[in-house]
Amino acid sequence: MTPPSIDAHVRLDTHPTHPSAVTATLTGSQAHIPHVGLEAANWDVVAKNTLVLARIDHEEPYWAQQAAHELTTEGITVEITPQLREAIDEEWTWANYPMPWCTRTEIREVSAEAQKIYDDIRHGHLLIHAHAQDSHTTVAVGTYLSSGKSVYLHGEDHLRQVADTFDSPAQALVSFERIHGDTMRPGPAPMTDTERDAVKARTSIDTPTAEPEPPSPEPEIVPAYSADVDDHDALLDEFLDTHSDWSKWRTWSDETTHAIHESQTLRIERIHDAPAHETAWIIAAYETPVSDRMWHLTATGATPAPMLQKLLDHLADGDGWDTTVGSAIDEKSITTATKPLVEAGWKHAVDGRWIRWTNPSEDAGVQFDAFAAQKPSSSLATWTVWAGPSVDQPNWAVHASPHAPVAMIADLATEIAHSTGARRPLHPGLPQRTTTLPAAVPTGPRRPTGRLR
């Protein structure tokens, strides 16, 4: 049966300042009808005919889609903006989720229960008597005012759950004090960062007024190894947008983005907000989707944009990377990889196990470690492409394992020896660009845990 037509239009969109919240803008002579339904589903009014869904489990896009389905069934016109549609379709998972055996649906069920507890507290249905610290999380005890049932709560945000129940508040408090008397405090615990963000999202949807930026000085053309870092995330996004044979997924915490080639034998991990001297990119190749890692390459957070672009261009070439097991590195492969450096007149020197090529100004170079080349399973880098005061204290570095394709190393050598890039001088009065790293900072490649192996 076709539902009766209702003169109401609901526009669902992403929140302008909150990373996962959703806004609903209502129009039409019967806008009050979807208004009542959304409020009943825990959407909060922030302005006339404007509501916000801000949850502590970050599942707003999913529940917005459910709301859209319900409204459409009732005969209400619903518009979902492209950016919200992208968020609805995007796959993500919690980083370091303590229940890894759960399916995505089961994870959503767990977090939905945590959300209900949170909503019961903020709406005054669940009165919290006391809270305490239990190891690295928060526990609390409270009573539902409607039923009189008392509960023991364990965890925070999307992991909060009812761990025990009691017949009376007195019984609950006695048990809670017996276990957590040393850290017990009256009333609810202070809000978590996630809860504070949700409160802000429900308060206003105004976009913050941006401070006017001073005019940017004209960029200067410099060698590629001295160019600006630019936006690494934008580089990866552009690469994925223009190469349909790659797909991506991310962790909800936004700490990392993973990109996987359709063959599933080549993978990229982008570690967001990595310090300049630490690993920000990991590229790994596998002989088959389920085999051990064959070769890998890492790049630090301060790697200039032209160097990364050259690397991505190489990966975009279907014939430019090789995931077959290669033979041990020989003199011919070293000569091929470093030919661009020789052509540019870079200095060549042998220092024990290391062979090094440096530019005339000695602020950029390529290093080959003959010892590491014979140890495929070692964490030592066979190839190091770097720029800065020295190879032991670089401003940035790219490290590659023994079986990294020779053509890829040659591409990086060509870029560092022959190419240029843009560098924008800092505006007068602002802090000057750092050219060296503290001596105490380790410069070797960091071995991330739980990543591409």
Question: Among 201, 233, 260, where does a domain finish?
Answer: 201
Distance CA 257, CA 233 (A): 9
Closest CA to 157 of 198, 106, 211, 205: 198
Q: Do 278 and 339 fall into the same domain?
A: yes
State residue 401's pLDDT score.
Answer: 92
Is there a single domain that holds both residue 313 and residue 405?
A: yes
Range ranked top by mean pLDDT from 194-198, 200-204, 286-290: 194-198
C-alpha span between 357 and 340 (Å, rounded): 11
Task: Note whether 126 and 176 are same-domain residues.
Answer: yes
Check: pTM over 0.75? Answer yes or no.
Answer: no
CA distance 357 to 439: 23
**Both 82 and 129 in a single domain?**
no
The answer to whether 12 touches 24, Cβ cutoff 8 Å, is: yes
Residue 115 has which token pair? Answer: 């959300």
Within-domain flag for 407: yes
Last residue of a domain, one of 171, 201, 231: 201
State phi, psi for 197 to the nearest 5 degrees. Answer: -65, -40
Question: How far, in Å, CA of 76 to CA of 78, rounded?
Answer: 6
> At 442, is the pLDDT very low, low, confident or very high (cuts 50, 70, 90)?
very low
Contacts of 223 (CB under 8 A, 6+ apart): 359, 364, 416, 419, 420, 421
- Asked if residue 184 is part of any domain, the answer here is yes
The answer on 269 and 120 residing in a single domain is no
- Which letter does DSSP use for residue 390 in this model? B
The answer on 42 and 185 residing in a single domain is no
Is residue 313 included in any domain, yes or no?
yes
Do 390 and 265 sit in the same domain of this protein? yes
Domains in the chain: how many in total? 3
Kindly state whether residue 295 falls inside one of the protein's structural domains. Answer: yes
> 24: domain CATH number?
3.30.780
Within-domain flag for 210: no
Residue 176 token pair: 């809670």
Please check whether residues 323 and 197 belong to one and the same domain.
no
DSSP letter string, 380-428? S-SEEEEESSBTTB-SEEEEE-TTS-HHHHHHHHHHHHH-EEEEPPPPT
Amino acid code (one letter) for 47: A
Average pLDDT, the chain: 86
Predicted local confidence at residue 447, as pLDDT: 31
Rounded CA-CA distance 408/399 in Å is: 12
Structural domain boundaries, residue 259: 221-423
Place 328 in a pLDDT band, splitting at 50, 70 and 90: low
- Supply the DSSP symbol for 28: S
Q: What is the mean pLDDT of residues 182-209?
A: 86
Same domain, 228 and 326: yes
pLDDT in tens, 403-421: 899 999 999 999 999 999 9
Q: Is residue 428 domain-resident?
A: no
In this structure, what token pair is assigned to residue 251?
Answer: 């962790």
On whether both 177 and 146 belong to a single domain, the answer is yes
pLDDT digits (tens, 9 = 90+) for 262-284: 988 999 999 998 889 999 999 99
Task: In whole angstroms, give the CA distance from residue 120 to residue 127.
Answer: 9
The answer to whether residue 98 sits within a structural domain is no
Residues 108 and 85 placed together within one structural domain of the fold: no
209 is a domain residue: no
Intra-chain end-to-end CA distance of the chain, in Å: 55
Tell me: do 125 and 234 sit in the same domain.
Answer: no
* pLDDT value at 428 more than 50: no
DSSP letters spanning 309-341: HHHHHHHHSTTS---SPPPPP-HHHHHHHHHHH
Record the tokens describing residue 94, joined without a space: 């919690």
pLDDT more than 70, % of the chain: 87
> Tens of pLDDT along 117-173?
999 999 999 999 999 999 889 999 999 999 999 999 999 999 999 999 999 999 999
In this prediction, residue 441 carries a pLDDT of: 33
How far is Cα 404 from Cα 376, in angstroms, rounded to an integer? 10
Residue of higher predicted confidence among 124 and 217: 124
